[in-house]
Amino acid sequence: MEQDFEFVEPRICDRFRGFLPIVIDVESGGFNAQTDALLEVAAVVIEMTPMGELRPGTTYRYHVQPFHGSRLDPASLAVIGIDPHHPLRPAIPEKEAIGQLFREIRREVRDRQCTRAVLVGHNAAFDLAFLNAAVARTDIKRNPFHPFSCFDTATLGGVAFGQTVLSRAIVAAGLEWDPNAAHSAIYDAEQTAALFCIICNRFRSIYEEARERAPQLARPEPVPPPEGDEPL
């Protein structure tokens, strides 16, 4: 007697214990998140196909005005190719940029029935430090990101492909890298998102075996209480 099986479409909220991965890349006026200007931030939402594969989704990008008194290292500006004071640069104040980004991410988290976002970055501690510093400076409420947990594609790339440099990991993963487009927040974020998805998809069988072995560990984290009364 044949038994009918109902296909249950996989959900990204079940993949990472309720966390929604959001790739973040920042461009800055130096390496010190407390003193150096945040100049550009890009975010790529990670989504899941009906067959359970991860793929890059919507991209958000904001040009940011240097905060008052911030440091701008000429060597860093030369590498990233940003003129912070160019009259045609469509930059907005830091609080406005982060506020707009967080509203979009909170909506993405809610629409996917997740509990909060988790930052994905290449050398993720750098991006998370600049993001958290901007939040503290501007006193923004309802930060959708986990305050310290993150996924680092430098580590994942080293494990999966033996490469920790983003450009090398991208090539090792079978993708193309354009050195002329590098150090743009949107390009680096989208390449990092592609790398993250490739690695996660190739490790999918390990994840599924673990889920069968200990299904109770896959339960989502509790939804954190809202902070403040800022509208979505």
Q: Which residues are catalytic?
A: 183
What separation, in Å, do the N-terminal and C-terminal C-alpha atoms of the chain show?
A: 52
Q: Please state, in angstroms and rounded to a whole number, the distance separating the CA atoms of residues 55 and 98.
A: 24
148: helix, strand or coil: strand
8: helix, strand or coil: coil
Q: Please state, in angstroms and rounded to a whole number, the distance separating the CA atoms of residues 24 and 224.
A: 21
Q: If residue 179 lies in a helix (H) or strand (E), which one and from where to where?
A: none
Closest CA to 67 of 22, 110, 36: 36
Closest CA to 163 of 195, 208, 129, 117: 195
Evaluated on CA atoms 78, 39, 60, 132, the torsion sign reads: positive
Closest CA to 150 of 112, 83, 196, 90: 196
Closest CA to 204 of 56, 52, 98, 23: 52
